[in-house]
Structure formats: C-alpha cells, structure tokens
Amino acid sequence: METSYKRRRFLHRLGQAAMAVPSISFLSMDAYGSNLYTGRSMEEIINPQQNKKLGIALVGLGSYSEKQLAPALQTTLRCKLTAIVTGSPDKAAKWKEKYKIPDKNIYNYQNFDSIKNNPDVDIVYVVLPNSLHAEYTIRAAKAGKHVICEKPMATSVKDCEAMIKACKEANKMLSIGYRLHFEPHNMTMAELGPKKTFGPLQKIIAIDSQEMDPGVWRLDRERAGGGPVMDLGIYCVQGALYTAGKNPISVSAKEGAKTDVDKFAEVEQTMDFQLHFPDGLTANCHTSYAEKGNLLRAEAEKGWFELQPAYGYEGIAGRTSNGKMDLQNVNQQATQMDDFAGCVLNNKPTRVPGEMGLRDVKILMAIYEAARTGQKIPLKL
Ligand code: NAD
C-alpha cells in the first residue's frame, strides 16, 4: 500500500516533468536505455523491484542531512534511510524517534567501522565537512559499503585518488552528491550546449554566491579546504562543463578584495575565474560568500539559454532566446539517491562517479593556483 502510494507519487513526479516539455526533448535515454533523470529503464519504471530497497546510512546529521536528504529518503523507491552516524547523542535520540531507527543502526564516529557487520546498510552517504570526506569514504569502502560522498569530493587531489582507490579495492561503487545531474533544467543546459541547438557556444557565464554566517566550518580552511570556490564555485565549474559538454584546458583566476577581513581571515571572500576550453570558448565564473547570485547562462551564435536561479534545491527557472523552458522542478536528492541505488542494484556505472569529483577538485585546486600565481594554469584532466 505504502509502496504503491510512493510509486504513484514518483510516476506523478516523472509524468509532470515529461509532459511539460513542448519543444526541448530532455527525457532522452542514456547509454543504458535509462531515463536521463532517473536512471530507470521504462521497464523498471513500470515494474520496479518493489521488494528491493537498499539501506542508506547518513554520516553527519547537519543541515543537509536533516533538511534535504532524510526527507527525500522518505520518498525514494529504490533506497531508504536505515542507519545514522552522529557524534551527538541528542541528535541520535531525535532521529531515532522521528525515523524509527533501531538502536543497532545508530553509530558514532568511533564505532562507525562496525557498520561492516550490518546487513541493513548497503550505501554510506558521507555528509560531513569537506576535510572529513576522504576518511569516511575510505572507512565505508573498507567496511564493504557503496558510497555517496558529498561535494566537493575532498580537499586535495591526493585524497580524491585515495578514495577512488579504496572503493575500487573494495569493489564498491563511489558517487558524488551532484544532484543537478538529476535536475531537468540543468540537464537541458547539458543538451542545448553540446547539441549546438543555438549554434556553437560563444560564451558561458556562471555565478554562484551566497552570504555566509560567521563562525562556521565553511570559513575554516582546515575543514573546508577553501572558501566559496570549494562550496559554490564547484557549481559554476560543473555548470560550465556540462553546458560546454567538454573539459577545459586551462584556468585563470583573480581573488576579490576582502571587505570583512575578520570573517574571511582563512579563506577567500570572492573569486573570479575563467575556464578556457579547447576551441577558444571561455566560461566566466564568479563566486562569493558576501553577496547573492545564481546564474548559468550560455550565449551562442544563434541565441542564448540560461537558468536563473540555476543551482537551488527548487525554484530553478530557465529561459532561452526562443522563450521560457517549460520544465518542472523535481526532488533532486530523491532522484539522485534512487539513481545510485539503481546503479548498485543493476550493476551499472553512476553518471556522477568519483572520477568526476576528482576532475572537479583538480580544477578547484588549479583555480587557487591561478589566483595565487597570477598565471594561466594548464589542466591535465
Ligand atoms: P553542517 O555544518 O550543517 O553539518 C555538518 C555535520 O557534520 C554536523 O552534523 C556536524 O556535527 C558534523 N561534524 C562532524 N565532525 C565535524 C567537525 N569536525 N566539524 C564540524 N562539523 C562536524 O554542514 P552541511 O551543510 O550539512 O554540509 C555537509 C556536507 O554536505 C558538506 O560537504 C557540504 O559541501 C555538503 N552539502 C552539499 C549540498 C548539496 O546541495 N549537494 C548542500 C549542502 C551541503
């Protein structure tokens, strides 16, 4: 009863998205014959493996777990919340009650490795401050679990490589929490650019800025690995790359002036950076913790297309020089987690693998190097 209700809701979600696209065919099939946004083949959508839901353990019960992932996991078809990992007994009690999590599925950071013996957990989702992503991804892989790791994948290229190696050695899948790869507007940008629907691209503009409260780990270099570049600039990098449909060959960057030197004592307040693509195309990107901005825009020979806002959990809106993008917003986190569960269940590669996270961290590190040196930094991706 409950499952069929959820299934109806999902089909409703999918149907809404499918019906709302008069001119842009975003419901294309990927290499596996799966729907681009759900990873499900039509056969799987019509006849999902009702009884098989993978168990997910959320590691770190901060804002993103509490407000986005756990609620999304109440709507997923292929996976469900079965365990939590937290350092706070208060949070453990609250989550236990709210989500009916048995004591045997509640872990802390010390006894986390014993999750190895828990058959209720198939996937560990690492939702910790950036500097802890590598440690918990590697520990999860060693415990024999598949892993979703939040963005940015890690605070160094070396850590990303170690995470990929650990998952390979354990024969477990690793994906990054790149929810926008499951978002219709963003994936429409990823179709319009490479397909040259408006002709060859001439320019990409990507802006992601948010005001940041003082005293949080995101302003602490050790735990965040950097400032807005790591947290928000990564969306500009991602947006530019999927809109261009290719990787950049070099980057240049300039750090903006600090208007609050105390708040931004350890990390940049603002960064402007350019991603240079092989055919002369440039993406002009801007990210800041001291203003608001949210845009992904492409200008091409025969028109333009853009999202504003582009990167939020909901309310994404798109326009082109031919008119509005008539697309629905979906529950990105539910679709992303269901897609990964589907990949695990069907032994198919994820669209957002660790290698993509590594590529992006290489670009983020090159942005910092470019800003530090004033040089254009070549990329080997
Ligand atoms: P948060 O500060 O709200 O939560 C962090 C959690 O980690 C807290 O529960 C905290 O108790 C725990 N923690 C454990 N060790 C810690 C330590 N040493 N220092 C600080 N906290 C520690 O952060 P968040 O917004 O939930 O972000 C967590 C991760 O999720 C980050 O990597 C972030 O980039 C990512 N994130 C992704 C999205 C997305 O849209 N994909 C959105 C928000 C956050």
Q: Which domains does the chain have, with CATH numbers?
A: 2-179 (3.40.50.720), 180-330 (3.30.360.10)
Q: Which mutation among 84, 85, 88, 150 tests ligand 1's pocket best, with the greatest number of atoms within 8 A of CB?
A: 150
Give the span between the Cα atoms of 173 and 349, in whole angstroms: 8
- Residue 20 has what pLDDT? 34
Nearest Cα neighbor of 102 from 89, 92, 111 is: 92
Q: Where does residue 221 fall: left (phi above 0), alpha (psi -120 to 50 degrees), or beta otherwise?
A: alpha
CB 234 within 8 A of CB 228: no
Q: Which tens digits make up the pLDDT trace of 346-364?
A: 999 999 999 999 999 999 9
Clarify whether 98 is annotated catalytic: no
- Residue 13 has what pLDDT? 36
Q: Both ends of the chain: CA-CA distance in Å?
A: 48
Task: Name residue 255's amino acid.
Answer: E
Selecting among 37, 235, 242, 368, the annotated active-site residue is 235
- Residue whose CA is closest, atom 41 of ligand 1? 177
Clarify whether 172 is annotated catalytic: no
- Residue 51 has what pLDDT? 62
- Residue whose CA is closest, atom 34 of ligand 1? 151
Q: Which tens digits make up the pLDDT trace of 93-141?
A: 999 999 999 999 999 999 999 999 999 999 999 999 999 999 999 999 9
Angle at 114 between CA 108 and CA 120, to 5 degrees: 95
Point out the ligand 1 atom lying closest to the alpha carbon of residue 313.
Answer: 40
Q: How far is the CA of 130 from the centre of ligand 1 (A)?
A: 8
Stretches where the chain sits below pLDDT 70 are 1-51
- Residue 44 has what pLDDT? 54
**78 close to ligand 1 (CB < 6 Angstrom):** no
- With residue 351 as reference, give the H or E element that holds it: none
User: Which residues have CB under 8 Å from 1's CB, separation 6+?
Assistant: none
Q: How far is the CA of 65 from the centre of ligand 1 (A)?
A: 8
CA distances from 217 to 231, 263, 267, 332, 376 (A): 11, 12, 11, 25, 30
Q: How far is the CA of 118 from the centre of ligand 1 (A)?
A: 24
Report the Cα 296 to chain-centroid distance in Å.
16
Spell out a b/e string for 89-102, using b for 16 or more CB atoms within 10 Å of the CB, else e: eebbeebeeebebe
Q: Which mutation among 90, 127, 235, 316 tests ligand 1's pocket best, with the greatest number of atoms within 8 A of CB?
A: 127
